[in-house]
């Protein structure tokens, strides 16, 4: 495991560290894993603070589910859900920074004003092109993620000839646009988007060949926590996928993945500490 630095909004430096944990803070009624469990500002903020106490370096706040076939929500509703939580978490004294999980330009801008320093964007600024202007203005830490289509259609027969090669080409094209918008490269991490327009075979190929992405020279961000690929591979239902998640997280860490987006932060902290000590 190699130490990684990540520059976020305001020039704050995360790291250098062998790994970063992004704890998932879903302020939604319908997310696939914990939808509704932390659906109001008070419980969402409390959950985020608990994840920070467990070792999360990043608290990733989302107000709209991006699971396959999820319903979209309005800007106003998403803002109502996330802004109070972001404000509450941005004031924490636990060392964790706040990320906003959104593809909407207005939500991203208001989240940055409320204290978020990272933008986790499943759309790669394709759904709302004006998001690129927000990125150029605020210069946040930025998660550039690949998806094939939008949540409502991304799982409708996705096809690739070379899934890793095609994702890498997508990243290169998007990185050129980010450079043109003035976002420094040291603020960008790359997420191949497990489950976003990929079948089981595509997901497994990405995971097996994850080291190919190192050719792009940027840190890798991985979100596979409790996802449906574990049902496809092992027949596991949603509440049974923690062990599979931890095993994959350990392997990916030893292969160079630096940022791990997870639901069970305490378990991931243990997993990644063991991986670090045994690497």
Separation of alpha carbons 88 and 59, rounded Å: 11
3-state secondary structure of 120: strand
In the sheet that 97-101 helps form, which strands lie side by side, from edge to edge? Answer: 188-191, 141-145, 118-121, 97-101, 58-62, 20-26, 259-262, 221-222
The answer to whether residues 238 and 264 touch, using CB atoms and an 8 Å cutoff, is no
Helix (H) / strand (E) element for 260: namely strand 259-262
Active-site residues: which are they?
227, 261
DSSP letter at 66 equals: -
Respond yes or no on whether the N-terminal peptide bond of residue 16 is cis (omega within 30° of 0): yes
Cα 132 off chain centre by? 18
């Amino acid at each position: 495991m190699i130490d990684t630095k990540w520059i976020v909004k305001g020039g704050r430096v995360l790291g250098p560290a062998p790994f970063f944990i992004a704890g998932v803070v879903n302020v939604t009624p319908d997310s696939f894993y914990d939808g509704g469990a932390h659906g109001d500002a008070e419980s969402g903020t409390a959950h985020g603070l608990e994840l920070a106490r467990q070792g999360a370096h990043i608290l990733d706040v989302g107000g709209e589910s991006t699971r396959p076939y999820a319903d979209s929500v309005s800007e106003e509703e998403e803002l109502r859900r996330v802004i109070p939580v972001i404000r509450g978490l941005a004031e924490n004294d636990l060392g964790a920074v706040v990320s906003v999980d959104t593809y909407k330009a207005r939500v991203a801008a208001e989240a940055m004003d409320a204290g978020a320093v990272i933008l986790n964007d499943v759309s790669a600024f394709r759904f709302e092109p004006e998001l690129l202007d927000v990125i150029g203005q605020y210069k946040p830490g930025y998660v550039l993620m690949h998806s094939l289509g939008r949540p409502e259609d991304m799982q409708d027969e996705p096809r690739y000839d070379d899934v890793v090669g095609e994702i890498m080409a997508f990243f290169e094209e998007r990185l050129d646009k980010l450079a043109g918008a003035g976002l420094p490269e040291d603020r960008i991490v790359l997420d191949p988007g497990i489950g976003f327009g990929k079948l089981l075979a595509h997901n497994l190929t990405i995971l097996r060949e994850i080291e190919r992405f190192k050719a792009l020279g940027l840190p890798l961000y991985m979100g596979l926590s409790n996802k449906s690929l574990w049902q496809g591979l092992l027949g596991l239902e949603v509440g049974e996928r923690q062990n599979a998640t931890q095993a994959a997280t350990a392997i990916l860490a030893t292969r160079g993945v630096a940022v791990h987006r997870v639901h069970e932060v305490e378990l991931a902290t243990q997993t990644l500490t063991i991986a670090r000590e045994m690497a």
